[in-house]
Structures are given as C-alpha cells and as structure tokens.
C-alpha cells in the first residue's frame, strides 16, 4: 500500500534506529537525560531563543503554550482552520479555560488587519484578547504558508497591543525549504514556537516548545501536570536530533511531489478545485455529485491510502517514505480514476 494519509506515517530508518540505540539517557523529570538536554539546547539555539522543552506531541506543546500565555476568561485569536481549534479536542477550554475568537482567513492565513478588528475592547462581559496563534504551514489550509513579510505586521501589532504571539510550526520546516528563510528570524517574530519532529522530518515521536527561560520554566510544570514528564526518553530525542540534522533539506522533495500531484489533479475531470499546493499537502474538492468516501475506496482498491477532509474533499500528504517509484504509480493511478 502507498500511504498518503499523513506525513506522520513514516517509520524510522535503520540509520535512525541505530542512532537511537546509541543514545545516552537519564531521568528527564530530574533534567538528567543528556540527549534530551542536547536536543533542547540545539533547538533553542536554532531559533535564537533561551530554552526549549521536549514533549510527546504537538498538541501538548500548543496546549502548554496556550496555558502559559493566558489566564482563564481570556481568549485566543486564530483562524477558524487552526489545529488548536479544530483538532485538539477543545483543549483550549479544558486546559486553560479560555475562549477562541475565530477569524475567517484565506486558506488558513490571517492578516494584521483582521486580527486588529478582532481584538475585543475591555468590558466585564467580554473575554480578554490575550494570545494570537498562527499556523505555518497551515494543515487545513492545504499546506499554505506565511512569509516573514506577512508575519512582520502581525508581530508589530501584537507588540503594540500587548498580545502574545504563538507559532504552531508543526510543519514549519516544509515552509523554510520553500522560502529560504531562517529559524532565528522566525524565532524573533514569536513569543513561543512549537515544532513537530514526528511529521515530515520522520522521527517516531517528539515535539518541542521554544521560548524564553521564564516561559519554559512554567512549561515544565504544565508538561508534568498534563502527564508529559518522561524518563529515559533520550532514545526518542536522539531520533529527533537525527531527523533535524539529516532529514530537513530533503523536505523540498516532498513539497515538489505534492506540487506535481496538484498540477495533475487540476486537469482531471473528477476534480472541482485544488487548494493551491504550497508545501507537502494536497487538498482538493471532487467534482459535483462525487463523495470522498467512495473515491477513497476506489483509490484503496488501487493500492493508495488517503483521507477525507470533508464530505467531498480529499487530502494527500507526501513524506519521507513516499518513494519515487510510488510517486510514478500514484500519478498513473490518478490519471485513470
């Protein structure tokens, strides 16, 4: 089977497993796992920030960030497609007691003007606007991305208005291979950044939250109370170090394959519209009258797995384990659907 369900389906390569096996480990709840400490320093420095914290998932790093930046009865401003709103089980309300103020952006992207218009005045009967969350790339937006030129006015607005700015950068590295921008510049524009190493980068587990020392000190307490304090997890951190050092620049290959799939789909009669393919995600609507489920069944019978993103919407995600041979096969199948 060719699995295009997500870029989380990758398995560690023999080289990665070998590197993991050789990791030096200790009890990270006591701060004594040398490999986790190395990963946290490496990533903090990569983004020009003081500290980072290793967590089991990107949901946890986002939830901890929201918790650190807000008080109950505050609100988070984000696009209506945001992962923090759509796919984290409503955790913003459960963990932080905050509301969301949703913006209808364009393919998951919002502007400084939209954010400014969404900031609430201060009245007893309104939640207090406290945090803005941007997602880069934006999953439900079809892998759309912000450039630094688009982020800059948002950073300025947040500074002027006393709002915190968090980046959900689960797939940030797929963006940076497109824009050529660097991680320190990204870090400079946000109060906190979350990255996932278990997506396109190909580690089995692991996300990091990056920020200043005070924020990460607080984050360590919240990680513990959420049940995310791990012990000899240096084996996992080793996989993340391996992925960051060896599997980063190749993300361009995944993006290019996704773009080829997008171009092919645009020409197919069974496709109504393909969201602009900017990174490694392809989202398209089927032509009128066609449903995603039977389409996915047919694809499956031809050896390809993908996922529905709405009743008539399909998503493909390319990744490390999606080979050139598989790509040829997928292109052939899609021409004949």
Ligand X SMILES: *Cc1c(COP(=O)(O)O)cnc(C)c1O
Question: Of 166, 170, 194, nearest to 77 (Cα)?
Answer: 166
Q: Which two tokens stand for residue 128?
A: 């207090």
Site for ligand X in 14-43 (CB under 6 A): none
Q: Answer yes or no whether residue 196 interacts with ligand X by CB under 6 A.
A: yes
Give CA–CA dist 292/51, Å, rounded.
43
Site for ligand X in 122-141 (CB under 6 A): 135, 139
Beta carbon of residue 24, minimum distance to ligand X (angstroms, whole number): 25
Stretch binding ligand X (CB under 6 A), from 42-50, 119-127, 167-175, 312-320? 167-175
Q: Answer yes or no whether residue 170 interacts with ligand X by CB under 6 A.
A: yes
Residue 59 or 192 with smaller CB distance to ligand X: 59
Q: Answer yes or no whether residue 59 interacts with ligand X by CB under 6 A.
A: yes
Q: Scanning the structure block, which residue is given the tokens 């208005």? A: 161
Stretch binding ligand X (CB under 6 A), from 51-59, 254-262, 274-282, 308-316? 51-59
Q: Answer yes or no whether residue 207 interacts with ligand X by CB under 6 A.
A: yes
Q: What is the DSSP letter of 12?
A: -
Q: Answer yes or no whether residue 278 interacts with ligand X by CB under 6 A.
A: no
Q: Answer yes or no whether residue 83 interacts with ligand X by CB under 6 A.
A: yes
How far, in whole angstroms, is CA 229 from its chain's centroid?
22
Stretch binding ligand X (CB under 6 A), from 11-19, 54-62, 232-240, 272-280? 54-62
Beta carbon of residue 84, minimum distance to ligand X (angstroms, whole number): 7
Q: Which two tokens stand for residue 261?
A: 């799939």
Q: CB–CB of 334/264 below 8 Å?
A: yes
Q: Answer yes or no whether residue 79 interacts with ligand X by CB under 6 A.
A: no
Q: What is the DSSP letter of 52?
A: E
Question: Of 235, 216, 196, 220, nearest to 50 (Cα)?
Answer: 216
Give CA–CA dist 165/66, Å, rounded.
10
Residue 169 or 234 with smaller CB distance to ligand X: 169
Give CA–CA dist 170/172, Å, rounded.
6
């Amino acid at each position: 089977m060719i699995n295009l369900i997500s870029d989380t389906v990758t398995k560690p390569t023999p080289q990665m497993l070998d590197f993991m096996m050789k990791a030096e480990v200790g009890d990270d709840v006591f701060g004594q796992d040398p490999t986790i400490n190395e990963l946290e320093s490496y990533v903090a420095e990569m983004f020009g920030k003081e500290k980072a914290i290793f967590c089991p998932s990107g949901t946890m790093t986002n939830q901890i960030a929201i918790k650190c930046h807000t008080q109950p009865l505050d609100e988070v401003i984000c696009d209506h497609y945001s992962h923090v709103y759509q796919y984290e089980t409503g955790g913003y309300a459960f963990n932080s007691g905050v509301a969301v103020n949703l913006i209808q952006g364009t393919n998951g992207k919002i502007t400084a003007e939209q954010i400014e218009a969404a900031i609430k005045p201060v009245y007893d009967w309104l939640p207090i606007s406290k945090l803005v969350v941007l997602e880069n790339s934006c999953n439900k937006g079809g892998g759309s991305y912000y450039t630094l030129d688009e982020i800059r006015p948002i950073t300025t607005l947040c500074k002027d208005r006393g709002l915190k700015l968090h980046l959900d950068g689960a797939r940030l590295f797929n963006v940076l291979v497109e824009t050529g921008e660097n991680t320190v510049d990204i870090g400079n524009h946000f109060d906190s950044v979350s990255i996932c190493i278990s997506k396109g980068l190909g580690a089995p587990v692991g996300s990091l939250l990056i920020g200043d020392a005070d924020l990460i000190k607080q984050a360590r307490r919240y990680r513990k109370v959420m049940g995310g304090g791990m012990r000899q997890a240096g084996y996992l951190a080793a996989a993340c170090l391996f992925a960051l050092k060896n599997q980063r620049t190749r993300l361009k290959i995944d993006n290019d394959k996704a773009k080829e799939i997008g171009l092919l789909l645009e020409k197919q009669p069974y496709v109504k519209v393909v969201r602009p393919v900017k990174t490694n995600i392809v989202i398209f609507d089927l032509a009128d009258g066609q449903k995603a489920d039977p389409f996915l069944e047919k694809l499956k019978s031809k050896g390809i797995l993908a996922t529905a993103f709405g009743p008539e919407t399909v998503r493909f995600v390319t990744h490390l384990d999606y080979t050139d041979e598989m790509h040829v096969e997928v292109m052939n199948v899609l021409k004949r659907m």
